[in-house]
Amino acid sequence: MDTFIDFFANLTSLQKLIWIIGMMTIFWILEGAYPLRKFDYKKWEHAKANLILLITTIIINVFFGLATVGIFNWLEQSQFGLLNLVELPVWVEMLFAIMLLDFLAQYVVHYLLHKVKFMWRFHMVHHSDTHVDVTSGTRHHPIDFIMRETFALIAILIAGLPLAYYILYRILTILFTYFSHANIRLPIWLDKTISLVFISPNTHKFHHHFEMPWTDTNYGNIFSLWDRAFGTFIYDDPYDIVYGLDILDKEKSDDILYQLKVPFTYKKSNLDSFDISKD
């Protein structure tokens, strides 16, 4: 187990980048072979905007990485946080860490991104994609991503996490992000079985439906347990899903400049008329 922990604690930036590229490539190939939807679009042209946003995410990660190094050093010295109050088997600590991070840094902040109008302005960019595929998992406005990372730092402090647990969580997050966004067709029985505990591809697709109420469901990233516990889980016919957002120009889904400006140029009157708390 120590070897396992040391492996994640010592992952280099290059190894993390290889993991990102590797996961995206695998699901890119799979969605080409077993597509859920046969999109009539230029796949590379669509990917360009999403990959540009991935680059901004990587840059932000560098700065947050510097901040987290200081936090992890402080946690080690101060012994602050829940995990420092009790003695638990390592595997229990890792599971607790992953579940806490998935809850606070994914489910809770994602819920708020939909319910708080200021936050929703930035999160609209993620939902404006009219052709959801594996690259859509990287589609986050920089400020949207900063808000998500802030909640991750809060979770780290609450739990008193060691670095290795956090890196393991990030590795799993990348896997599930690309898995759930990929335009892949799984047998319904398999997808539903996966969705009993985890976020499956179909499960997340409902979240990308263009209108309410499906847009405000299935907020999880790794576990579906939070959605099930808080009544935000839904599963229906995936072929009824229409991607995009009914309050944005769908013709500019792949226009990167338009997407970056959306939070600042979108008319407040239109946002007010869109009831983001609607059931």
Residue 8 placed within a domain: no
- The whole-number average pLDDT for the span 28-49 is 93
Closest CA to 130 of 250, 32, 248: 250
pLDDT tens-digit profile of 203-253?
999 999 998 899 999 999 999 999 999 999 999 999 999 999 988 888 999
Residue 6 placed within a domain: no
pLDDT tens-digit profile of 161-183?
999 999 999 999 999 999 999 99
Residue 9 placed within a domain: no
Q: How many domains does the chain have?
A: 1
Residue 1 placed within a domain: no
State CA 27 to chain mean position distance: 16
pTM, rounded to two decimals = 0.90
Residue 4 placed within a domain: no
The range of the structural domain enclosing residue 94 comes to 16-273
**Alpha-carbon gap, residue 128 to 64, rounded angstroms:** 26
Residue 216 placed within a domain: yes
Q: Check residue 134 and give its pLDDT.
A: 97
Residue 32 placed within a domain: yes
CA-to-CA separations, 21 to 9, 16, 74, 99, 246, in angstroms, rounded: 20, 9, 32, 25, 31
Give percent of the chain above pLDDT 70: 95
Residue 3 placed within a domain: no
